Amino acid sequence: MSNGELLQIEPLELQFPFELKKQISCSMRLTNNSDNHVAFKVKTTNPKKYCVRPNTGVVAPHSTCEVIVTMQAQKEAPPDMQCRDKFLLQSVVVSSGISPKDITPELFTKELGKQVDECKLKVAYVPPTHPPSPVREGSEEGSSPRGSVSDNGAVNQSTDMMSKAFAGSQESTPEAKALISKLTEEKRSIVQQNGKLQQELELLRRQANKSGGGVPFMYVIIVGLIGLLLGYLLK
């Protein structure tokens, strides 16, 4: 706190919890412990960067006034988070009938026999009071499902591999693309084989109808194979 003769200022260093692309404000309190009315004016070395409300005013005897300093949103952080901006607060005794709109720059001109107090304020960037939430390394939504264990282990393992491939395809990794391509080619091959078996089955059925005999043993085997293949494709 500055123990000036006219106004006490707290704090003497304006601290802003710096965050990129975010407007940030801090305040300072002006205290008038005298029996006089005191006018003040706030200046800054970077007026385009800061907004001060109020930047001028009158503090009545034995009262206080709060000044809000707002820093505009910044697109990039300064090197080493050091700020060289400064503020200057000027104060002078005025008559009791003066209003804030009557305050002019000439009022703070130093003249013989006129007391004009000046106090320089530094600016500091501090870490934000609410740090960003830590980013999780993994996501439950992105985890791949595990295949179930059953007698038909080969089918379930292939299904598990397919699930992992599609789960990781969002990341577009080379491994995921290669696995998807391989499984797609295997499925295409199985579909072709199934078509051939269907043709052979139809041929055997026609031969059985012409001969008038029972169903051949090979016919039963082919039907079983087709059932297995269809079950594989439906997994």
Just give the CATH number of 2-126: 2.60.40.10
Task: Decide: 108 and 116 in contact? Cβ < 8 Å.
Answer: yes
Task: Decide: 71 and 93 in contact? Cβ < 8 Å.
Answer: no
**C-alpha span between 186 and 188 (Å, rounded):** 5
What does the block give as tokens for 207? 């031969």
- pLDDT tens per residue across all 235 residues of the chain: 455 679 999 999 999 999 999 999 999 999 999 999 999 999 999 999 999 999 999 999 999 999 999 999 999 988 889 999 999 999 999 999 898 889 999 999 988 888 999 999 999 999 887 655 454 444 344 444 444 344 444 444 544 554 554 454 444 566 667 777 777 777 777 777 777 777 777 777 777 677 665 555 666 666 666 666 666 655 5
Q: Residue 215 in 3-state DSSP?
A: coil
Domain ranges of the chain: 2-126, 153-234
**C-alpha span between 168 and 141 (Å, rounded):** 11
pTM recorded for the entire structure:
0.54
